[in-house]
């Protein structure tokens, strides 16, 4: 019995993981099939872009500026000891555009979006509002999942672009004020270091993270059981699932893009 126990746990964990991945894939498939059918629900999609994206602007602003400043400071300190502080723009550019801005943006803004979606849909599930939508002849996937999925997939790349600009400004500020590297020079070396594929890899990452964030948020919301406690459990699970998915997919996409870059 005691020998079997660990194997049972492992088996259950694998089955749970497969169930989850299967459920997520099914939800994605259904959303794509029903989403592209008329009516397209453009109003719902734009409402969600406002709800998920525009309202994330303050946090994105903070994120972008401070990541740019912190990373430039770190690189500046390291490069100064080699007498190469002028290369701080080149050093910061790749790390920020390819990796830090898309990933940190997804981990913070993405987690905020996903938990918000889970909490909203979970509360609707608990109070039978999702059943009510279906009972009124509408499709809950079309009405609830599709707009959130599109909005998060569109929003994160846009916020990524916005975050990149602010990270550049934050980095230029630190380079100028702390390391006496002129902001214009920082800007030129920063931009010179970047090739189109660097921007594309960052955008592909944030597009993927946006899709994952929307999917996980909606799936966990729909999976909410009964009672208000269940909403809390679903929301916690969303944070964990979103973070793990972002970290794993970040690594996968990095391995795909690095040889190309």
Q: Which residues bind other proteins (CB under 8 A)?
A: 123-124, 127-129, 131-139
* Nearer of residues 137 and 196 to other proteins, judged by Cβ: 137
CB 132 → other proteins: shortest distance, Å? Answer: 4
CB 210 → other proteins: shortest distance, Å? Answer: 22
Dihedral in degrees, nearest 10, Cα atoms 29, 27, 103, 252: -50
8 A C-beta contact, residue 104 and residue 207: no
CB 181 → other proteins: shortest distance, Å? Answer: 50
Q: Is 124 helix (H, G, I), strand (E, B) or coil?
A: helix
* Nearer of residues 77 and 225 to other proteins, judged by Cβ: 225
CA–CA gap between residue 96 and residue 173 (Å, rounded): 15
CA–CA gap between residue 178 and residue 258 (Å, rounded): 31
CB 220 → other proteins: shortest distance, Å? Answer: 19
CB 46 → other proteins: shortest distance, Å? Answer: 15
* Nearer of residues 202 and 217 to other proteins, judged by Cβ: 217
* Nearer of residues 123 and 243 to other proteins, judged by Cβ: 123
* Nearer of residues 201 and 223 to other proteins, judged by Cβ: 223
Scored b (16 or more CB within 10 A) or e, 178-188 reads bbebebeebbe
Task: Please state whether 39 falls in left (phi above 0), alpha (psi between -120 and 50) or beta.
Answer: beta
Dihedral in degrees, nearest 10, Cα atoms 233, 216, 140, 207: 150
**Surface-to-core class of residue 6, CB atoms within 10 Å of its CB (0-12 exposed, 13-18 middle, 19+ buried):** exposed
* Nearer of residues 60 and 234 to other proteins, judged by Cβ: 234
CB 171 → other proteins: shortest distance, Å? Answer: 40
- Max CA separation in the chain (angstroms): 70
């Amino acid at each position: 019995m005691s020998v079997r126990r660990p194997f049972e746990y492992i088996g259950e964990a694998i089955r749970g993981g497969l169930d989850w991945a299967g459920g997520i894939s099914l939800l994605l498939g259904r959303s794509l099939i029903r989403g592209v059918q008329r009516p397209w629900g453009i109003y719902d999609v734009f409402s969600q872009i406002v709800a998920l994206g525009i309202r994330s602007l303050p946090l994105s602003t903070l994120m972008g500026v401070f990541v740019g400043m912190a990373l430039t400071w770190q690189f500046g300190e390291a490069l100064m000891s080699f007498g190469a502080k002028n290369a701080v723009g080149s050093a910061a550019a790749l790390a920020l555009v390819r990796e830090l801005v898309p990933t940190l943006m997804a981990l913070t803004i993405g987690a905020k979006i996903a938990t918000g979606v889970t909490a909203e849909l979970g509360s609707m599930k608990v109070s039978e509002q999702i059943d009510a939508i279906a009972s009124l002849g509408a499709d809950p996937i079309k009405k609830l999942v599709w707009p959130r999925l599109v909005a998060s997939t569109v929003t994160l790349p846009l916020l990524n672009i916005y975050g990149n600009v602010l990270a550049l400004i934050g980095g230029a500020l630190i380079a100028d004020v702390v390391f006496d590297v002129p902001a214009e020079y920082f800007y030129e070396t920063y931009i010179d270091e970047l090739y189109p594929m660097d921007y594309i890899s960052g955008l592909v990452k944030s597009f993927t993270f946006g899709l994952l964030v929307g999917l996980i948020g909606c799936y966990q919301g729909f999976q909410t059981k009964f009672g208000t406690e269940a909403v809390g459990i679903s929301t916690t699970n969303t944070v964990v699932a979103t973070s793990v998915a972002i970290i794993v997919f970040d690594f996968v996409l990095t391995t795909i893009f690095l040889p190309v870059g």
